[in-house]
Structure 1
Amino acid sequence: MKHLMLLMLLCSSAALYAQQTITGTVTDKTTGQPLEGVSMIIDGNTASGVHTNASGRYQLTAPGKGAYRLQASYLGYRTYTTTLQAGQAPGQLNIALEETGLFVEPVEISSLRGGKHAPFTRSTLDAADIKQQNLGQDLPVLLNQLPGVVTSSDAGNGIGYTGMRVRGSDITRINVTVNGIPINDAESQGTFFVNMPDFASSVSSIQLQRGVGTSTNGAGAFGATLNLSTNEFRDKAYGETSNSYGSFNSWKHTIKAGSGLINDHFTVDARLSKISSDGYIDRASSDLRSFYTSAAYISKKTAIRLNVFSGKEKTYQAWNGVPEALLKTDRTYNSAGTEKPGEPYDNETDNYQQDHYQLFLNQEINAHLNFNVALHYTRGRGYYEQYKAQELFTGYGLTPPVINGQPVDTTDLVRQLWLDNYFYGTVFSVNSTGHRLNWSLGGGWNRYDGEHYGKIIWAQYDIDKDHKYYDLDAFKTDLNIYWKGEASITDALHLFADLQYRTVRYNIDGFRNNPSLIQHNTYHFFNPKAGLYYYLDDRSRVYASFAIGNKEPNRDDFEAGLEQTPQHETLRNVEAGYVLRSNRLNLQANAYYMNYKNQLVQTGKLNDVGAYTRTNIPKSYRVGIELQGSVRLNSVFSLAVNAAFSRNKVQDYTAYIDNYDAGKQDTISYGDQDIAFSPNVVAGYTLTVTPVKNLRLDVLGKYTGRQYLDNTGSKARSLDAYYVNDVRALYTIPQRLFRELSLQVMVNNVFNKKYEPNGATYTWIADGQVVSDNYYYPMAGTNYLVGLTVGF
């Protein structure tokens, strides 16, 4: 490491002699007002690009030789491009950007995201950040380098089913929206990105808010909010094909095209994708297909856009994990399908298709007031198929047959467990901008109609084909309304307030294992938020906020039974931070405290119908510090680092353990214990090197501390800490035939580290001994992906 640092310093010093500096101010051509956040890039190199500060100022390091191109881009303005010659740098280059004259701002996003004065902790990725690492892995994997984020993959290589946690909170507690439309499943409250394969290729911007964040649509944010935007405006026609291949026979094929602006008003964009992989885990294959289309009409004050996108997935199940006894000798073992005698069942697969329809109207009333309204409809249907051995006929509502005069109680069979659902509704916002007050009034109404049923498609003994052995419905209605505002008390001090009312009605007409258990519940939530944002100077600022979030239980929680219906959860969240942004250096430090009332956690307790479910724990909390920063050392080197240090505790915790010797459950009480899957340290870095023109090299590292599989603090039931390194390269090939010709190479886990970011455990007592069965989800050793992009 010392030798590497010395080499970096020597290279940095040498490069300093060749570089030149360009400074200036970017303003609105009509008003002369400075523009904050304008993207300034040289020769398409986003690694060395900067954004203008609050005064519209920027400072760029230019190449020391040859000609280069400087580009300034900002939403709603025409892109400015000029060619400069090294050695003749203008020193001071002021730029005036001209508005397009079209209503291209995605209002549905600005009303939900934290604005520049919102006192919440957040990270933002733009299209260039996403593209440089998008070679077919699922979207959560692309967010792995953000502070406090831990990702996992059932198949072990980031393709297929993936998981994501932020500050220890899993995806069921992360509110996800696409263009302001809720994406979380209404019942499980999770988001399954496997149903949206290669969606990252259509995303133009991602914002991850950590903590409760601002008011949003859909499921309550209990750990983070993930906003995805696809409504990008591109005024020039384009085409692009991207293909990649990698380890485990992984393929990605993507074709994108756009019309640009037709007749000054119309645009059409489209994408078609196919991803396939054999997976690292045995038989954990994926066959994923998707498309995205968007058509828009845009005028000076009106924008109408229709998005239609769909994803279809077929993945061989790898949900069970690898037993601890096999982890060292057979870490790719997959138990799925092995109930079938002989070779594993070849179609133990998950099959699902999800179609999304989004229609937006954005309307400007005057220069300070606009509104948007959107209609959405999501159609989902699919099943997972299983081979089950020695199943009781009575468990499927069937009378055991009599064969050769003897009753036969059990049979091998193949079953399909189906979901068939509709999710639809509307969201809206009215947005006002003023000299001292900006505010939004918004909300949404969403309805979910879901059918759960199972059928037998084959059996060892004679059963009617497609026998439906359960058929249950569920309905959920979600209504919310919010008002949020930012008031500028002075030029430096800005106050923020956010008030949301949300009501949820959830009716469940039985469960697969408990068809007679009916649950009808209604919730009323008030979620207030307030904070301040203060500019210390034009480069640095501080913020603080307090927010309350409430969340209803998910479907599995309601199976607790009529006598143990779970209570809703409440989170009180305090955030405070410091931000420094300059032309070469960006720093952010924030502290947080998340106090939970009645958090739902897995304790091992049986409910009154004999199932394991989560149970409300009266008191628990998370407290931590998150640090992140980036620095351009010179024209060759830049470095981005982040670290999250936290303490995550369940207080006065009682665990329930099955005692097979006594035929009952034993209880064990604990004091403060770590919350499951909540590492105390998560840190990462990205070292970017641009040694020659058009070549970018990234060296990435990620450290994740020990994670406990339950809430008892037992090291025997935990995931070891791990540190993993990746390397990626992007080379833009100089040529004149195509708009872009680039080659990407990504090598993951370059040091072949054996690690497991996810797992599960079950503990019981037998023969006087406490026994634990641990299961792990290993990640692949050294593996690679190579991609070629051609842009027209």
Structure 2
Amino acid sequence: MNKKFWIIATLLHCGLYAVAETETTDSLRHVNLEEAQVFSTRATARTPIAFVNISKEAIQKQNAGLDIPFLLLMTPSVLTTTDAGAGIGYSTIRVRGTDATRINVTTNGIPMNDAESHAIFWVNTPDLASSLKDMQIQRGAGTSTNGAGAFGGSINMQTESSAINPYAEISGSYGSFNTQKETFKVGTGLVNNRWAFDARLSHIKSDGYRDRASAQLKSYFAQAGYYGDKTTVKFITFGGKEETYHAWDGITKDMLETDRTYNPNGVIEDENGKAVGFYDDQLDVYRQTHYQLLFNHIFNPAWNLNVAFHYTGGEGYYQEYKNGRYLAEYGLQPYVDAEGKTVETSNLIRRKNVASDFGGMVFSLNYQTGKLQASLGGGMNKYKNDHDGNVIWVKNYIGDLAPDHKFYENTGEKLDANIYGRLNYEFVRNLNFYVDLQYRHINYTIKGVNDKYDWSAGHMQPLNLDETFNFFNPKAGLFWQINSQNSAYASFAVAQKEPTRNNYTDGFFTQRPKAERLLDYELGYTFRSGRFTAGVNLYYMDYKDQLVLTGQLNEIGEAVSANVKDSYRTGAELSAGMRFTNWLRWDVNATLSRNRIKHYTEYLSDVNENWKDMTTADGGISQTANYLGSTPISFSPDFMLNSLIAFNYKGLDASLQSQYVSKQYLNNSGDNDCTLDAYFVSNLNVSYTFKLPAMKSVTVGVTVYNLFDETYESNGYASRTAVYPTPDRIKPAGVKPEIVPYAAYYPNAGINALAYLTLRF
């Protein structure tokens, strides 16, 4: 522990990971047209918000096969998690403690978040990083963008530019857990001074760190572009197919000590509840395809227009083996077995299917002179998602079981339209005023039958939702370029966000969740010189009606997310960086924060001393309300520290990434038995680039993840139960219960490595 303390203390004296956006030398002369596509949703040097640009070069150095969240790991206030434990498959990202449903993601200005869940499933577009020109990650409410509101951050990705000259590239990697990645890229270069075509094929495979947590991922990218003197038209399509074995459930702390890689998903139990094997087809399978038609036109040096039409189609399912389930939950009748016994529960296999269509257009009209930048933009997008579920097998079932018996079916539809105007004006020398006004309209409907069985009514829960939201989201700020080395900014932003699909389908039957609102206050300062940079960003994010898990259950015993009236995140993001020589640099950033729910009440499920569910007098589900006052928000560490030491000399490239994350709570109770321990993890990357005859370059390298073999977990979940000292199923009056916590964890891999080779022609 003392060793870790001194490592952390030393790093605190150093500075920021700040990646400068650089242009590749073979970009088209018309690259200014391509950049116009994302100009209106990106922050620029004088935008008063916190952001980091990540260049294509920085992406390439880290892109050995892990999911995109891990390419953002060294940026301030960013955490990553991985179900399979090794960074391939279901991985996600948190910014300032907020989860994926609150992080807006776009590609070329087009929304990537699922319109219903608001999450981004990176596994559906594997190896997209190999076709990216750059990324910008904004923290806080950020600039107005298309899609769901940013409540913690936004990620803006731009696909790569075409090259002037023909090229080909072959890359591959192999390493721990039988992880492998193969990528092939080719481009025609500029044809007839006007046309260019590019394509990529990728395959990624991994057994995963956890048992059976395998992933089989395939993807492609293709683009065709016409480059006129003032007009660019590009057609882009990319997509992928993923097949992953479930690793969705965590394991207890005791299990971490005895069988750390154990994966409970897919377990098959006998009549006595004893595990007798695992189901081979406990799979998640999904195919997603994106189509984008981008049009950019420059009218004159001041004015340009970009318009994008898009369509995304997705289709897939996940399949599960379920033990001892009530047949009634699936619309099946109990049956009488050979011994004359009525059977109400059985093992079965269910498949949940989804098919989605998402399409629309986004646009921006941009004006820029020496002192003024202005944009008028927006878009209209329509989403439709069909959900249904089938029972495909029941153990020893006697009776009529139609093939692929369907037990629920519903359709969600969403219309999302927004328009915004943005202005950044230097009204006095070196002082810019920024204003960004957005209006957003959402209509969301769900019709059909839910996958939840209503025991009180004796049938599946009907769904009949029709909700409309109208949000006005103003943002304003000041940017002051004090002198050539010093700058400062201040801003205020309002962001509002509609509930997700799960907030409705897993909510109360008779109550509707309210929309959430964020008031975001930011204050920053930066110093830059030839060799040293330093900065601080202070933020206060004030949430109204934030939706969080409170332990409360709905009418059929499902956990619901409830609106909490007041909560906040506040902190300081510190950064510094030093370039010692042209070949050695050290960057560090740190986040100190306080994240709290005010006046928090948790709900504890009641059981008796024999751990049987207790009921209310009318037969409902019994819970105990437990007022806790101010409590820490889950998954929001008070302290984070990132360090990047980078060495580059005559083709030899080496970097040491290190991240320290303090303790995190798994729920909102502040219970120290429901936490993730602090961890300190380092990754080492070493590569060498050289030339061979008939090749532009050859790069060979290896990345060692978790270099010091830290034993840690970066994700989990928890609950608390009220245990009453009575055998009665009715909650006793005036008796104080014992509060018993339960926590489960997703273990991360120890030291592991990926070796890689890239050939460029």
TM-score (norm 2): 0.90
Within a 5 Å distance, the mapping from 1:39-58 to structure 2 comes to none
Letter in 1 for 2:642: G
Q: Does 1:436 align with 2:371?
A: yes
Shift of 1:238: 1.2
CA deviation string 1:28-49 (max 9, x = no partner): xxxxxxxxxxxxxxxxxxx999
Instruction: Determine if contact 2:19/2:54 at 8 Å carries over to the other structure.
Output: no
Instruction: Determine if contact 2:46/2:432 at 8 Å carries over to the other structure.
Output: yes
Q: Does 1:565 align with 2:512?
A: yes
* Equivalent residue number for residue 709 of structure 2: 752
Q: Which runs of 5+ in 2 are unaligned?
A: 11-16, 271-275, 453-459, 609-613, 616-621, 726-737
Shift of 1:102: 7.0
Letter in 2 for 1:278: D
Are the structure 2 counterparts of residues 266 and 698 from structure 1 closer, same or farther at C-alpha, using a change threshold of 3 Å? same
Q: Does 1:457 align with 2:403?
A: no
Distance 2:634 2:487 in 1: 35
Letter in 2 for 1:659: D
Q: Does 1:394 align with 2:351?
A: no
Are the structure 2 counterparts of residues 269 and 443 from structure 1 closer, same or farther at C-alpha, using a change threshold of 3 Å? same
Letter in 1 for 2:535: Q
* Equivalent residue number for residue 776 of structure 1: 745
SS of the aligned residue for 1:387 comes to: strand
* Equivalent residue number for residue 314 of structure 2: 380
Shift of 1:103: 5.3
SS of the aligned residue for 1:322 comes to: coil
Q: Does 1:245 align with 2:174?
A: yes
Correspondent of 1:163 among 92, 95, 108:
92
Shift of 1:465: 1.7
Distance 2:324 2:255 in 1: 25
Are the structure 2 counterparts of residues 272 and 698 from structure 1 closer, same or farther at C-alpha, using a change threshold of 3 Å? same
Shift of 1:392: 2.4
Cα root mean square deviation, aligned: 2.1
Distance 2:445 2:424 in 1: 38
Q: Which runs of 5+ in 1 are unaligned?
A: 9-46, 52-72, 80-98
Q: Identify the structure with bigger relative contact order (alpha carbons < 8 Å, sequence gap 6+).
A: 2
* Equivalent residue number for residue 533 of structure 1: 479
Q: Does 1:735 align with 2:692?
A: yes
Letter in 2 for 1:451: D
* Equivalent residue number for residue 679 of structure 2: 722
Q: Does 1:505 align with 2:443?
A: yes
Q: Does 1:416 align with 2:351?
A: yes
Instruction: Determine if contact 1:102/1:299 at 8 Å carries over to the other structure.
Output: no
Correspondent of 1:354 among 281, 288, 291:
288
SS of the aligned residue for 2:191 comes to: coil
Instruction: Determine if contact 2:18/2:587 at 8 Å carries over to the other structure.
Output: no
Q: Does 1:478 align with 2:425?
A: no
Instruction: Determine if contact 2:26/2:165 at 8 Å carries over to the other structure.
Output: no
CA deviation string 1:286-305 (max 9, x = no partner): 00000000111011111101
Distance 1:225 1:397 in 2: 42
Instruction: Determine if contact 1:475/1:506 at 8 Å carries over to the other structure.
Output: yes
CA deviation string 1:258-298 (max 9, x = no partner): 11111111111111000000000010000000000011101
Shift of 1:583: 2.7
Shift of 1:434: 1.9
* Equivalent residue number for residue 34 of structure 1: none
Distance 1:231 1:245 in 2: 25
Shift of 1:101: 6.0
Within a 5 Å distance, the mapping from 1:134-283 to structure 2 comes to 134-283=63-212
Distance 2:325 2:23 in 1: 62
The farther-off stretch of 726-735 and 169-178 is: 726-735
Distance 2:676 2:413 in 1: 38
SS of the aligned residue for 2:428 comes to: coil
Distance 1:102 1:695 in 2: 30
Are the structure 2 counterparts of residues 508 and 580 from structure 1 closer, same or farther at C-alpha, using a change threshold of 3 Å? same
Letter in 1 for 2:321: Y
Instruction: Determine if contact 1:48/1:632 at 8 Å carries over to the other structure.
Output: no
Are the structure 2 counterparts of residues 155 and 78 from structure 1 closer, same or farther at C-alpha, using a change threshold of 3 Å? closer
SS of the aligned residue for 1:715 comes to: coil
SS of the aligned residue for 2:462 comes to: coil
Instruction: Determine if contact 1:322/1:332 at 8 Å carries over to the other structure.
Output: no
Are the structure 2 counterparts of residues 603 and 630 from structure 1 closer, same or farther at C-alpha, using a change threshold of 3 Å? same
Shift of 1:340: 4.7
Shift of 1:406: 4.7
The farther-off stretch of 190-199 and 410-419 is: 410-419
CA deviation string 1:683-712 (max 9, x = no partner): 11011223x521111112100011001111
Instruction: Determine if contact 2:20/2:53 at 8 Å carries over to the other structure.
Output: no
* Equivalent residue number for residue 26 of structure 1: none
CA deviation string 1:433-467 (max 9, x = no partner): 12332100000111111111011222222522211
Distance 2:348 2:553 in 1: 28
CA deviation string 1:321-362 (max 9, x = no partner): 112220111111110011355220011111111010111111
Q: Does 1:127 align with 2:56?
A: yes
Distance 2:92 2:268 in 1: 26
Within a 5 Å distance, the mapping from 1:678-697 to structure 2 comes to 678-690=636-648, 692-697=649-654
Shift of 1:511: 2.2
Shift of 1:234: 1.9
Letter in 2 for 1:354: Q
CA deviation string 1:65-119 (max 9, x = no partner): xxxxxxxx758x988xxxxxxxxxxxxxxxxxxx936753322211100122110
Shift of 1:152: 1.0
Distance 2:575 2:450 in 1: 45
Shift of 1:746: 0.5
Instruction: Determine if contact 1:517/1:561 at 8 Å carries over to the other structure.
Output: no
Runs of 4+ aligned residues of structure 1 deviating over 6 Å after TM superposition are 47-51
Shift of 1:551: 0.5
Shift of 1:374: 0.9
Within a 5 Å distance, the mapping from 1:629-668 to structure 2 comes to 629-661=576-608, 662-663=614-615, 664-668=622-626
Distance 1:397 1:701 in 2: 52
* Equivalent residue number for residue 303 of structure 1: 232
Correspondent of 1:675 among 597, 618, 633:
633
SS of the aligned residue for 1:248 comes to: helix
Instruction: Determine if contact 1:48/1:638 at 8 Å carries over to the other structure.
Output: no
Distance 1:717 1:223 in 2: 24
TM-score (norm 1): 0.87
Instruction: Determine if contact 2:20/2:55 at 8 Å carries over to the other structure.
Output: no
Distance 1:254 1:421 in 2: 28
Are the structure 2 counterparts of residues 581 and 232 from structure 1 closer, same or farther at C-alpha, using a change threshold of 3 Å? farther
* Equivalent residue number for residue 382 of structure 2: 447
Correspondent of 1:363 among 292, 297, 312:
297
Distance 1:263 1:447 in 2: 38
CA deviation string 1:622-661 (max 9, x = no partner): 1100012222101342101110010101101000001123
SS of the aligned residue for 2:33 comes to: coil
Shift of 1:737: 3.2
Instruction: Determine if contact 2:182/2:203 at 8 Å carries over to the other structure.
Output: yes
Instruction: Determine if contact 1:563/1:608 at 8 Å carries over to the other structure.
Output: no
Distance 1:102 1:226 in 2: 21
Shift of 1:310: 1.0
Distance 1:432 1:501 in 2: 20
Distance 2:574 2:167 in 1: 39
Identity of aligned residues (%): 41
Are the structure 2 counterparts of residues 48 and 120 from structure 1 closer, same or farther at C-alpha, using a change threshold of 3 Å? closer
Are the structure 2 counterparts of residues 201 and 395 from structure 1 closer, same or farther at C-alpha, using a change threshold of 3 Å? same
Correspondent of 1:543 among 465, 477, 489:
489
Distance 2:483 2:527 in 1: 10
* Equivalent residue number for residue 116 of structure 1: 45
